[in-house]
């Protein structure tokens, strides 16, 4: 399992953040926000997930 930083976003501004231990970024987004997520298209409210230990990839999700 990995440690992820999960941030709920309003546009490009973080409005809340969580540190989550999970198997995948998708699972981290669901656990951190306690909401079901889907792949982000262009929604103004979204979830940004990054791996805390050396991860450079940013995963983007939106609420269902």
pLDDT in tens, 6-38: 999 999 999 999 999 999 999 999 999 999 999
**Which residues make Cβ contacts (< 8 Å) with residue 2, sequence separation at least 6?**
21, 22, 23, 51, 52, 53, 55
E strands of 1-64, at which residues?
2-10, 13-22, 37-39, 45-51, 58-63
So what's the pLDDT on residue 51? 95
Averaged pLDDT, 47-62: 91
In angstroms, the CA 37 to CA 56 distance is 21
Does 54 score more than 80 pLDDT? Answer: no
Please give the model's pTM, rounded to 2 decimal places. 0.91
């Amino acid at each position: 399992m990995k440690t992820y930083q999960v941030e709920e976003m309003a546009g490009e501004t973080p409005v809340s953040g969580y540190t989550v231990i999970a198997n995948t970024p998708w699972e981290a987004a669901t656990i951190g926000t306690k909401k079901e997520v889907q792949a982000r298209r262009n929604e103004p409210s979204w979830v940004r997930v990054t791996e805390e230990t050396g991860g450079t990839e940013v995963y983007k999700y939106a609420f269902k």
